[in-house]
Amino acid sequence: MESESLEAVHRFVDAINSHDSTALCQLLSSGHRFVDSLGTAVEGRENVTAAWRSYFEMVPAYRLKIESEMVSCATVVLFGRASGNLAVQGVAISKSEWSTPVCVRSRVESRLVEEWQVYSDNEPVRALLRMCHSG
């Protein structure tokens, strides 16, 4: 079971890093629950897939770099870095690259990602957004 959970999470990270929303959707359970680092939750495969599509438009170079992981039955915890840049209406903003430590706790059921909860510091992105809106 642990190897299946880890394999599903690795496929999910690969889909995120390639911005493949079709693959993401296929890896989500129908009742998938995504929780961002501010505690905001999005539920349901279609809603979460739409949220990822929107995020990829806003952060076109978003990537997860996993440095270590822990697995226990259906739970996989990832540690690493999240990075990206910002875009407005499909145009990348100059000097908007950011990187921050990230931890993700995921739960896998029947080889599908049931839950994906992100823990990271959003301040680098918030600072860039403030700079974009003030200038």
Cα–Cα distance, 113 to 9 (Å, whole number): 7
- For position 91, what pLDDT does the model report? 78
Which residue ranges make up each domain of the chain? 2-134
Q: How high is the pLDDT of residue 132?
A: 67
At 129 the three-state DSSP class reads helix
Average pLDDT by stretches of 10, the chain with 135 residues: 92 98 96 95 97 93 97 96 88 84 97 97 73 63
Classify domain 2-134 at the CATH topology level: Nuclear Transport Factor 2; Chain: A, (3.10.450)
Q: What is the reported pLDDT for 124? A: 72
pLDDT for position 135: 54
Query: Read out DSSP for 1-21?
Result: -HHHHHHHHHHHHHHHHTT-H
Measure the CA angle with vertex 100, ends 41 and 4; round to 5°: 60
* pLDDT at site 122: 77
pLDDT of residue 93: 79
Residues 23 and 28: their CA atoms lie apart, in Å, by: 9
